[in-house]
Amino acid sequence: MNKAKLMRWIRSLGVLLTVAFLSACGEEHLQSTINPVTDYGEVTHHLYVQVFWWTMIILVVVLSVLAYVLIRFRERPGQERPKPIHGHMGLEIAWTIAPAIIVVAIVIPTIQGVFAVQRPPEEGALVVEVTGKRYWWAFHYPELGVTTANELHLPVGRPVSLRLESGDVIHSFWVPQLGGKRDVNPVVAMPEGEEAKRNWMHFTIREEGVFWGQCAEFCGEAHSLMGIRVVAQNEGDFQRWVEDWRTPAPTANAPDSAADAAGQSAGGGGAGGGGVSGPGAGDQDAPMTTTTAEDPLVARGRQVFFRESYCVLCHSIQGTPAAGVIGPNLTRIGSRGTIAAGLLENTQENLVAWITDPNTVKPGAHMPGADYSVTFEGQTYPPLNLNDEQIRALAAYLSSMR
């Protein structure tokens, strides 16, 4: 290949890359690691910027010397074999010490960073117990008695501590804008008297928004579809969300039995993933539900949910008799942005598609389909045996719980 042609090639490649780079950088990156919104993410990012520039300096120096050498010391026609030089002690010492100094300059802030990202929790932090399961996330707020799935609501400006634990294999909790990932390990039984080891993440979110994340440790077939959404809200909105969760959705129970069902769950809700509703929940709820005119499709869906299928075996809905803990908690599922662990927008059509055939929507999912069974952790769950009409009603019922 001649040189001019080669240069043209290289130049057009350079242009292509520059265009690609600029266009990509102009776009919004929902899972960007270089746009942190917490103090925890900031530690990493500062360090990253610092090390980035060190490595750039070294790269430029090495590649410039290389380029210079390749051009300057090409063999000239008729050139004799050059004088053999076997080494130079001074140079060897110099290029041992110079990198050593840079290494020290990187190691010191790094170790400070290591301690900063694994610092002890702050007093009064909001604790959330995060449980990774194939292939979804459970979030339990022990102080608030709230349990939800896949969408993690967190307040802005308040310290948060996530306690990470796996229900099966190793996962990794990664919401890049919150900060670096932490492995979500299964809890290993410890000898008596020793505390079981769990990983924690401590941070304070600075700004409101919806932050995307996903499992970052390969965990099986649907690993790539095990998404996380973090909804960071101001304190007021967050409190409202908690209150909403504690109060059964107006359509959760049949209008006539609302008070009964809510009353039941106040006692039985503890089994539903630790959901402890306030004692007054039923009282607050009753006037709201009785006055609403009921959509017949929603009523039909409720019938399907509680009586014509076995949804309640795995799923809980706060304030209703549904108290299963195998699958995600469905309380106020209509208010979530997505279903199937961040995979689908939360619409009725998508709910229908998901309930009908979860294994096509999300290969590897452990939910039985309308007409097929699924084996999960040694247990076989029979087909839901639902027809289209039933599924549409079910979707309407779930969507109605906002």
| H or E element at residue 232 | strand 227-233
To the nearest whole angstrom, how small is the minimum distance from the Cβ of residue 165 to other proteins? 11
* Cβ pair 140, 175 in contact under 8 A: no
* Burial class of residue 309 (count of CB atoms within 10 Å of its CB; 0-12, 13-18, 19+): buried
Q: Measured between alpha carbons, how far apart are the two ends of the chain, in Å?
A: 66
To the nearest whole angstrom, how small is the minimum distance from the Cβ of residue 276 to other proteins? 28
The DSSP-derived string for 156-179 is TTSEEEEEEEESSS-EEEE-TTT-
- Nearer Cβ to other proteins (1/293): 1
In angstroms, rounded to a whole number, what is the distance separating the alpha carbons of residues 160 and 127? 6
To the nearest whole angstrom, how small is the minimum distance from the Cβ of residue 133 to other proteins? 11
What are the angstrom distances between the C-alpha of 378 and each of 113, 209, 310, 374, 375? Answer: 43, 40, 18, 10, 6
- Nearer Cβ to other proteins (92/283): 92
To the nearest whole angstrom, how small is the minimum distance from the Cβ of residue 59 to other proteins? 5
In angstroms, rounded to a whole number, what is the distance separating the alpha carbons of residues 280 and 259? 11
394 CB neighbour count, 10 Å cutoff: 27
In angstroms, rounded to a whole number, what is the distance separating the alpha carbons of residues 353 and 147? 25
- Nearer Cβ to other proteins (139/212): 212
| H or E element at residue 103 | helix 89-117
- Nearer Cβ to other proteins (118/239): 118
To the nearest whole angstrom, how small is the minimum distance from the Cβ of residue 251 to other proteins? 30
To the nearest whole angstrom, how small is the minimum distance from the Cβ of residue 245 to other proteins? 26
To the nearest whole angstrom, how small is the minimum distance from the Cβ of residue 339 to other proteins? 14
* Cβ pair 248, 280 in contact under 8 A: no
To the nearest whole angstrom, how small is the minimum distance from the Cβ of residue 176 to other proteins? 5
Radius of gyration of the chain (CA): 28
- Nearer Cβ to other proteins (93/313): 93
Closest CA to 226 of 338, 136, 346, 333: 136
To the nearest whole angstrom, how small is the minimum distance from the Cβ of residue 280 to other proteins? 40
95 CB neighbour count, 10 Å cutoff: 10
- Nearer Cβ to other proteins (9/280): 9
- Nearer Cβ to other proteins (131/329): 131
Give bridge partners of residue 164 from the DSSP assignment.
130, 199
* Cβ pair 137, 130 in contact under 8 A: yes
- Nearer Cβ to other proteins (183/308): 183
- Nearer Cβ to other proteins (63/271): 63
